[in-house]
Amino acid sequence: MKPTKVLVGLASCGIAAGANKVYEKIEAIKHNEKLTFELTKTGCVGMCYREPLVEVIDDTGSYLYGEIDEQKITEIIEKHIKGKEPVKEYIVKTDLFENPDDSYWKNQVKIALRNCGIINPEDIEEYEQYGGYQAIKKLINQNIQPEQVIQTIIDSGLRGRGGGGFPTGMKWKFAYQSKSEQKYVICNADEGDPGAFMDRSLLEGDPHSVLEGMTIAAYAIGATEGVIYCRAEYPLAIKRLNIAIEQARKKGYLGNNIYGKQGWNFDIYVKEGAGAFVCGEETALMASVEGKRGMPRKRPPFPAVSGLWKKPTNINNVETYANVPYIILNGAESYNKYGTEKSKGTKVFALTGKINRGGLVEVPMGISINDVIFKLGGGIQQNKKFKAVQLGGPSGGCIPDYLSDIPIDYESITSTGAIMGSGGMVVMDETTCMVDIARFFLDFTQKESCGKCTFCRIGTKRLLEILTRICEGEGSEGDIELLESLSQQIKDSSLCGLGQTAPNPVLTTIKYFRHEYEAHIRDKKCPAKSCKKLITYTVIEEKCTGCTVCAKNCPVNAITGERKQIHFIDQNICIKCGVCYTKCKFEAINLS
């Protein structure tokens, strides 16, 4: 009979939800009562909406408990670990019986996230136990040549998971063909959109898979040095990366003569970035690594020819590298059996916004947006109507509900005006104002512009000013056309991906929700009743009971009326805070 094992999800999402306190409680009970079960840390299992998460594995099976606090874990230890009776009401996943959360796991295929939430990310032996570093051993034992490695990646159909989806194998091939004694491999762990949550979770939950993927890439192109460029705001990811790097060196997976293979020399270090969004662009990232200001440069030459320190360089993101060991170990067919004709494998998405089940999901390419939102994500909060999804991060595009049946692949998503990006998926409901959403994302990209290109530096500022005017009821005829014209000029005249894609939220919201722009400009109304300066609160006389609750809670005394008499809102005083609307128990406040 194998010993009971208790895993506590201690990625950033779990810690933020209070998992540290749960871990400490388990540790204290285990010590005080001299219990013999194994207690270990693990990463994010993806089910962030149920954090803190604790998994109990015993000789009867595996039981994942969700929304656990100190009181619940005490009960679980007493009933399950000591009494051998699982506490069913807290279980969110088990193979032994069904529960309401099962649909979250259906349709998921975990390749990049295969070890997250399963292994202790600070223990290299657990990674090895689950097939870790076997891909490197396969290359050595079978004497597989760099050209064969590159061809396997090409055959797998793996495309870059950080942005435009360039074929990974071809990128490696170009770097391999560049003649130089010094080459570099870089991992971009600095994307600043919601998909960066995925990168962080992968580094926190399975750092060795990224190290192994980078080491294989280095072997393929002939690189001897690797850099993981990670934003300093991810301290746990950086900590676990450095632990993993040191462990890999001691085991011989990094350093000179890797795992005994003469001449295979490769090492990695972590470079902490300042979190500039523009450094997600590869040439700006390399400038930052070199100690310069993170600004993009013209291409060609491309990094595969002249990259870091003007040497041939291969750059991929976290998710891309995490897929590589799986492909090398299991073959190209094991990966390309998933997906569509041109978009193979799986994709990780960070689900957020007005959705019931926020977190990380990994799905085969080709699944529909609708399936991700409603089958995995559990639909829209409070049963409101699904309106749109913003895909591709701050510079992605907004896809309306009536296009949500399209398959998730690079070509289909690009055809809508959105981009795949690194996997951010922001879900919106009927209460979301699409003009304000465009303004929100423009505000971010405008602040993150490095300022090098005039159209990006000044153009995004002008776009933001126009959008702000429209949201404040000061829009005028011709503003929509001006937004379209200026957006196109910014896209055409910007040097890097930030400027080229920054107008996407504007162009897609105009394309699919033009009527909302027109209502803001012509009618001075916000159809979603979201823009503060375009909404009006009034008392519905036939519903008002004169209870005075609204008047008592109004912060500026804009509501008058005697008890049991109809109340009135002075529009000249009202600051449109909405307190009266939320406090009224009789639905007597109208929002228009």
Contact, 38 vs 5, CB < 8 A? yes
Across the range 518-541, mean pLDDT stands at: 93
pLDDT score, position 163: 75
Q: What does pLDDT average to over the chain?
A: 94
Pick the CATH number of 434-523 from 1.20.1440.230, 1.10.730.10, 3.30.2130.10, 3.40.390.30: 1.20.1440.230
pLDDT score, position 90: 96
> What is the architecture of the domain spanning 536-591?
2-Layer Sandwich (3.30)
Domain edges within the chain: 5-101, 124-336, 346-429, 434-523, 536-591
Nearest to 118 by CA among 93, 82, 89, 90: 93
396 residue type, one letter: G
- pLDDT bucket at 192, cuts 50 / 70 / 90: low
Q: Is 53 helix (H, G, I), strand (E, B) or coil?
A: strand
Residue 197 has pLDDT above 80, yes or no: no
465 residue type, one letter: E
Cα–Cα distance, 444 to 447 (Å, whole number): 5
Q: How many CA atoms lie within 13 A of 301 on its CB side?
A: 14
CB within 8 A of 177, min separation 6: which ones?
Answer: none
CATH superfamily of 5-101: Glutaredoxin (3.40.30.10)
Beta strand 424-429 with 346-353: parallel, antiparallel or unpaired? parallel
To which residue do tokens 């569509």 refer? 340
Q: Per-residue pLDDT tens for 441-500?
A: 999 999 988 889 998 999 999 999 999 999 999 999 999 999 999 999 999 999 888 888
- pLDDT bucket at 78, cuts 50 / 70 / 90: very high
pLDDT score, position 361: 95
Residue 100 has pLDDT above 90, yes or no: no
CB within 8 A of 53, min separation 6: which ones?
Answer: 8, 9, 14, 19, 45, 47, 64, 65, 66, 68, 92, 117
> What is the architecture of the domain spanning 124-336?
3-Layer(aba) Sandwich (3.40)
pLDDT score, position 1: 64
- pLDDT bucket at 196, cuts 50 / 70 / 90: low
Q: Per-residue pLDDT tens for 19-39?
A: 999 999 999 999 999 999 999
Residue 191 has pLDDT above 70, yes or no: no
- CATH class, domain 346-429, is alpha beta
The token pair at 39 is 């207690």
Q: Check for a shared fold between 124-336 and 536-591.
A: no
Rounded alpha-carbon distances, angstroms, from residue 439 to 52, 295, 360, 501, 519: 34, 24, 26, 14, 16
pTM for this structure? 0.93
Q: Is 388 helix (H, G, I), strand (E, B) or coil?
A: strand
Residue 384 has pLDDT above 70, yes or no: yes
Residue 2 has pLDDT above 80, yes or no: no
Residue 302 has pLDDT above 80, yes or no: yes
